[in-house]
A and B are shown apart, each in its own frame.
Chain A
Amino acid sequence: MADSNVKVLGTWASPFVMRVRIALHLKSVGYEYVEENLLEAKSELLLKSNPVHKKVPVLIHGDKPVCESLIIVQYIDEVWTSAPSILPSDPYDRAESRFWAAYVNDKFFPALRRVLISTEEARKVAMAEILEGVVLLEEAFKKLSKGKAFFGGDNLGYVDLAVGSLLAWIKVIEKFTETEALSEAKTPSLAAWADCFSSHAAVKDVFPDVDKLVDFGMKLRAKFSKAATAAAATTTN
């Protein structure tokens, strides 16, 4: 069902963009995908559609832009009301889902980012946070899934999108630090879920190639290290 009324501005490497695309796939909403070039200047359309943050993803529905991945996912869930529901219907379950998505955005993702771009000491601290985080997420999975395959139960839900979109990047930092974060031994439920998530019909076409992502991650790392060194050099006294 092609809906030329829906556009997504994104980049292949962004977990946040992935969340939006999975949500649209779940609802069988056709859309035009516009790849922004991460390493070049931002497009006019992006700057016009997200003047406040100038970031992807942006969903443009008709001529109306919606920004911030979790806000976009909720918008998609509320506009296209066909099954499956991405957020649960019970208010307490919704609050729990929103809590864990916020945890991923506010704590887990920044730690992942720090592992990638920091120098050794800070990287060790950040990796320790990641290892603690996956234990928390393992517990959350057991509680929210109620024995089913996904955080959302039988279907992908809000927390699946929030966490699952980071799986490829988790693999990148596992390779980079030569440390296992998700494993059958330490996080058995999450490890099983990760396989189900990445092979899901709504996910597999937008799950990035991990080798490509490792390459890209190293470029990002170099870019941020250079910037950090330059900044340090200009603050002399």
Chain B
Amino acid sequence: MEGGVVLLDFWASMFGMRVRIALAEKEIKYEYREQDLRNKSDLLLQMNPVHKKIPVLIHNGKPICESLVQVQYIDEVWHDKAPLLPADPYKRATARFWADFVDKKMYDSGSKIWKTKGEEQEAAKKEFIENLKLLEGELGDNLYFGGEGFGYVDVALVPFYCWFYAYEQCGGFSIEAECPKLIAWVKRCMQKESVAKSLADPEKVYEFVLHLKKAYGIE
């Protein structure tokens, strides 16, 4: 493991996908180790004792935890290829702000869509779409959130796309109908090999969500 890069991850995790995309963008060879989250490995517990969560990036035997921390680490260590954060401090602050927005809002509002029903679910759908519209506003007429080039916010957000189908099926709505510009951006991102190879199959994610609903006893 010394000198090498190892990623402890779970196939359906949007957070893990961020790291996979960053590693692919930088053309870094690494060992992917799928984790069983119901039966956490000794290595996972040893490498992330505080949160006991994936993804965990291990570089030269040392762990780095938290997906956005990992993406920034990758960007800083392998800084000569495919920069993800811009050079200008104000643009960097803006990129960090929107990645943080994705972290604060997307996972929770998305989860509520498949975990609830009735009024609660309607409220969750509304909040989710409002958040996507704010992101659309930030994207504006740019090709990517990073401007001309694919960058940090694109990496932070695009993995959620593979969960959209599951949210739509559970919530009975169309995300593309509400946020066409965002879906156009997704399609642009999916043309990049780093993204296409890192995202999970939406059908498989939906199956997984159905399985989770059963396990949680959610109708």
Q: Are A99 and B66 CB-contacts (below 8 A) given A71-B93, A72-B93, A75-B89?
A: yes
The answer to whether B73 and A95 touch across the interface, beta carbons within 8 angstroms, is yes
Q: Could you tell me if B90 and A95 are in contact, using CB atoms closer than 8 angstroms?
A: no
Q: Which residues of A contact B73 (CB under 8 A)?
A: 91-92, 94-95
Q: Is the CB of A99 within 8 A of B93?
A: no
A92's contact among B64, B97, B101, by CB below 8 Å, is which?
Answer: B64
A75 CB contacts on chain B under 8 angstroms: 89-90, 92-93
- A98 touching B90 by the CB < 8 A rule? no
Cβ of A64: which chain B residues have Cβ within 8 Å of it?
90
Q: Are A92 and B62 in contact (CB under 8 A)?
A: yes
Flag whether B203 is at the interface (Cβ < 8 A).
Answer: no
Tally of chain A residues near chain B (CB < 8 A): 21
Given the complex, which residues of B lie within 8 Å of A92, measured CB to CB?
A: 59, 62, 64, 73
Instruction: For the complex formed, measure the closest distance between the CB of A85 and the CB atoms of chain B, giving whole angstroms.
Output: 14
- Given known pairs A75-B89, A75-B90, the reply for A103 and B50 (CB within 8 Å) is yes
A136: nearest residue on chain B (CB-CB)? Answer: B50
Chain B residues with CB under 8 A of A74: 92-93, 96
Count of chain B residues with a beta carbon within 8 Å of a chain A beta carbon: 21
Tell me if A78 and B64 are in contact (CB < 8 A).
no
In whole angstroms, what is the CA distance A81 to B31 when docked? 37
Chain B residue at smallest Cβ distance from A101: B69
Contact digits for A78-102, partner B, Cβ 8 Å, 1 yes 0 no: 1100000000000110110011001
Chain B residues with CB under 8 A of A68 = 96-97, 100
> For residue A97, which residue of chain B has the nearest CB?
B69
A198 to B73, CA, bound (A): 31
Please, which residues of chain A bring their CB within 8 A of the CB of B101? 52
In the complex, A42 Cα to B133 Cα: how many Å?
24
Name 17 extra pairs, CB < 8 A, besides A74-B93, A91-B73, A99-B65. Answer: A52-B101, A61-B90, A67-B97, A68-B100, A71-B93, A71-B100, A74-B92, A78-B89, A91-B76, A91-B77, A92-B59, A92-B64, A92-B73, A95-B72, A98-B66, A102-B69, A136-B50
User: What are the 7 A-B residue pairs with the smallest beta carbon separation, nearest first?
Assistant: A78-B89, A91-B76, A75-B93, A95-B73, A98-B69, A71-B96, A95-B64
Binding site for B on A (CB under 8 A): 52, 61, 64, 66-68, 71-72, 74-75, 78-79, 91-92, 94-95, 98-99, 102-103, 136
